[in-house]
Structure 1
Amino acid sequence: MVMTRRAWLRAVAGLALMPVSALLASCGGQQTTPTSTTPVSAATASMTTRVAAVTPSSTTTPANVATPSSRATPASTAKPAGQQASTIKARIALTASDAALLIAIDKGMFRDVGISVDLVTATLDPGQAISLLGAQQLDIVGGGLSGALVNGVKQGVPLKITVTETVITANFGGYHVIGVPKSLSDSGQIRSVEDLRGKTVALVTSGGGDVLEMKKVLEQHHLTLKDVQVQTLRAPDVPAALQNAAVAAGFLIEPYVTIALKQLKAATALVPGQDIAQASGIGLPLNVLTFGPRLLNDRPLAVAFLVAYLRGVAWYFERVGNDAGKQEIAAVLKQYTPLKDDQLYAQMTWPPIARDGRFATSFLDEYQALWRDLGQIQAMIPASDLVDFSYLDEAARQV
């Protein structure tokens, strides 16, 4: 449903009066593990508990503590000696897709440019997150794309996508997979995408990248989203749903691809990741960082943030190509995300981080067409109203 201006402003006003700490409590820092009659692996169980706060180990400097750094920092982004760090409140989902951001926090790259990052990890739906962003209770929101962004911008709220974290790449591999219960596959009940007509399919968002990818895959097989029964599940719950054959198919995102297909052996890949990539289009943005009014109106601070972020991206690509380097990345992710299983890190497909942080803005038209068809927005707006890569371009010149 599309918010009216009055309703949107009322939501923003109410959230603006609520301290972030209170919001964390009201939204719930944790989600309960779904009841299942079938045992689920320890890896799955550990991933179904949300993190209410980031607590690095004693050997890692917390993100919000400013400490001296021996690394040189460009004068254009460094804080003058003795000046207090600028605190930025960022709401992210704490997944492997956030690897570059978490690396930049853990390795002191934000500290080097005079920024302290306060991670807010409450469970928020896109509308809540965008409302908090517009009310300046948050400075950055990370995650999948949502029609809430369009509705906020249409109400005149300064919001811009400034960088993409992950995109579909030519070597996408098995990062996303459409899986079917092994029992249905082995019995021959589900052999092709056409066999999903009229059956229940689990997606993890109401209008994110998984929905657009599924839409495009279905279209290749002369089906639409209306030809299947969509059930929205949290990503950690999809492997159990497949194991129990509670759904005919489920959209899996790593590490749940590995959990469902390799650890539980509960599902088979009906549509492999590479086929999803070809159907969806190379370069499709999956997770983005959206800046709110504070950063958009403080260009030096916004650029400094992106300088540190791009250094995190570079650190990731220096290591993701070999096993020893992946272990270094995993050590960071284990500090901040619920994923602690070394075996999963060894088996999973690593996130397709966008090396330059950019994507073709034409993909925003495809997202908007989806949201319009789903009734989540009333009309499309120019992609230029939703994205601004000028901050990223300026940051790239300083890295």
Structure 2
Amino acid sequence: MAALVSTSVGGCGLLGGDDSSSSSGSGNLEKAKIKVSVMSTIDVAPFRLAQDGGYFKAEGLEVEAVEAATGQISLTNLIGGMVDIAYSSYTPFFTAVSKGTADIKLVADASSAGPKSTMLVTLPTSSVKSVNDLAGKKIGITAPNTVSDTLSKSVMKDHGVDFSKVQWVPLPLPNVAGALKNGDIDAGFLTEPFITQAAKAAGTVPVVDTATGATQDFPTAGYGGIGKFVAENPKTVAAFQRAMQKATRDSADRSKIEPLLVKYAKIDQDTAALTTLLTLQSTLDARRIQRVPDLLLQMGAIQTKIDVSGMIAAQSSN
């Protein structure tokens, strides 16, 4: 679902910061201190709430957040052993599994693309008036093989637009509005709060809601770990899951989320109030997540069929 600072994203939105929970540890966990790679995205709001609100501490966990600019970098942090758990859009996780790069186990869900939370936008003066005008145009996305790439191509495919002839331009989300004004791109993928920010700052208008058609309520991002870590640290993983489940439930109260947007994203309160949130999730549902690799296979982004049920770590009930 992105960052106000310099991030391009596989998830959506924005939240940054370096606060970490502190805990004396419960003594029952295999590993009481863990590192989690996160991005400055709106759907890590429950993670930030778990930090600020002491949810991790209550589970005996001390969690250090390691910032990553993209989902691919977050995954690289995980594979390289720099972190124990990584947040990313689902696309890099499944791409890595399909290539045999890593044994990924999904630990927790994060979000789905809700209505008007992910969009392709342009300027009112652009020749692009609808999704059918996107063929052959220059479109800004965060990076190839990210959720911005997947959602954009899928919605174009739904409307019979040939995305193979599009010139895809990698851009950090904060730069999309400027690139549109400078004429460097004809349209750009944005998530909230960048949709609201770009509309206020540059007068951008929607071309198409990318959470429609085949990608309506599409799973966008989650948290994963290497299989060996998950197998050897079941109590630690369960503690992380319980804290995230509680924080995700409490995140349904916008009054808990908007201050986090202001604090970590450095946006004003008015923009935070107008921001359309993604649908926040925590517990993984194999049938729902299966939509992601199935769509990637259909679009040629991966070459082998993936059974998600074999990738999901045991889910702790809270």
Normalised to the residue count of structure 2, the TM-score between the two structures is 0.85
Q: In 1, are the aligned partners of 2:107 and 2:237 still within 8 Å (CA)?
A: no
Give the residue type in structure 1 aligned to 2:314.
Y
**1:264-308 Cα shifts (integer Å, max 9, x gaps):** 24311111x3xx322233342111111123233211111111000
1:163 pairs with 2:108:
yes
Shift in CA distance, 282/149, structure 1 to aligned 2, threshold 3 Å: closer
Q: 1:312 aligns with which of 198, 222, 247?
A: 247
Q: In 2, are the aligned partners of 1:102 and 1:333 still within 8 Å (CA)?
A: no
1:212 pairs with 2:150:
yes
**1:90-131 Cα shifts (integer Å, max 9, x gaps):** 1110221101111111111110111011111143661x5434
Q: Which residue of 2 aligns with 1:264?
A: 201
Instruction: Provide the C-alpha distance between the structure 2 equivalents of 1:278 and 1:105, rounded to a whole number of angstroms.
Output: 33
Work out which of the two has the higher radius of gyration on C-alpha atoms and give 1 or 2: 1
Q: Which residue of 2 aligns with 1:286?
A: 220
Structure ranking higher in strand proportion: 2
SS of match in other structure, 1:117: strand
| Count of aligned pairs | 307
Instruction: Provide the C-alpha distance between the structure 1 equivalents of 2:39 and 2:153, rounded to a whole number of angstroms.
Output: 24
Instruction: Provide the C-alpha distance between the structure 1 equivalents of 2:280 and 2:131, rounded to a whole number of angstroms.
Output: 28
Q: Which residue of 1 aligns with 2:273?
A: 346
Q: In 2, are the aligned partners of 1:158 and 1:296 still within 8 Å (CA)?
A: no
Shift in CA distance, 260/149, structure 1 to aligned 2, threshold 3 Å: same
Shift in CA distance, 339/224, structure 1 to aligned 2, threshold 3 Å: farther
Shift in CA distance, 226/330, structure 1 to aligned 2, threshold 3 Å: same
SS of match in other structure, 1:177: strand
Q: CA deviation at 1:353?
A: 0.6
Q: Which residue of 2 aligns with 1:180?
A: 122
Give the residue type in structure 2 aligned to 1:314.
R
Q: 1:88 aligns with which of 34, 55, 72?
A: 34
Q: 2:237 aligns with which of 288, 295, 302?
A: 302
Q: 1:391 aligns with which of 305, 310, 314?
A: 314
Q: In 2, are the aligned partners of 1:85 and 1:114 still within 8 Å (CA)?
A: no
After TM superposition, the structure 1 = structure 2 runs for residues 1-399 of structure 1, keeping only pairs within 5 Å, are 47-49=4-6, 54-56=17-19, 62-63=20-21, 65-66=22-23, 79-80=26-27, 86-123=32-69, 126=72, 128-147=73-92, 149-151=94-96, 154-155=99-100, 157-168=102-113, 172-184=114-126, 189-261=127-199, 263-271=200-208, 273=209, 276-292=210-226, 293-317=228-252, 319-320=253-254, 325=255, 328-335=256-263, 337-354=264-281, 356-358=283-285, 359-370=288-299, 373-374=300-301, 377=302, 379-384=303-308, 387-388=311-312, 390-392=313-315, 395-396=316-317, 399=318
Instruction: Provide the C-alpha distance between the structure 1 equivalents of 2:98 and 2:158, rounded to a whole number of angstroms.
Output: 33
Instruction: Provide the C-alpha distance between the structure 2 equivalents of 1:97 and 1:256, rounded to a whole number of angstroms.
Output: 14
Q: Unaligned stretches of 5+ in structure 1?
A: 1-43, 57-61, 68-77
Give the residue type in structure 2 aligned to 1:205.
A
Shift in CA distance, 173/386, structure 1 to aligned 2, threshold 3 Å: same
The structure 1 segments of at least 4 consecutive aligned residues displaced by more than 4 Å after TM superposition are: none
Q: CA deviation at 1:222?
A: 1.6
Query: Which is further off, 222-231 or 117-126?
Result: 117-126
Shift in CA distance, 280/341, structure 1 to aligned 2, threshold 3 Å: farther
Q: In 2, are the aligned partners of 1:153 and 1:386 still within 8 Å (CA)?
A: no
Shift in CA distance, 258/299, structure 1 to aligned 2, threshold 3 Å: same
Give the residue type in structure 2 aligned to 1:382.
I
Shift in CA distance, 382/351, structure 1 to aligned 2, threshold 3 Å: closer
The percent identity for this pair of structures is 18
Give the residue type in structure 1 aligned to 2:251.
Y
Shift in CA distance, 158/340, structure 1 to aligned 2, threshold 3 Å: same
Instruction: Provide the C-alpha distance between the structure 1 equivalents of 2:162 and 2:6, rounded to a whole number of angstroms.
Output: 33
Shift in CA distance, 211/154, structure 1 to aligned 2, threshold 3 Å: closer
Q: CA deviation at 1:380?
A: 1.2
Give the residue type in structure 2 aligned to 1:296.
A
Q: In 2, are the aligned partners of 1:255 and 1:344 still within 8 Å (CA)?
A: yes
Q: In 1, are the aligned partners of 2:177 and 2:202 still within 8 Å (CA)?
A: no
Instruction: Provide the C-alpha distance between the structure 2 equivalents of 1:343 and 1:217, rounded to a whole number of angstroms.
Output: 30
Query: Which is further off, 153-162 or 346-355?
Result: 153-162
Give the residue type in structure 2 aligned to 1:380.
T
Instruction: Provide the C-alpha distance between the structure 2 equivalents of 1:84 and 1:157, rounded to a whole number of angstroms.
Output: 22
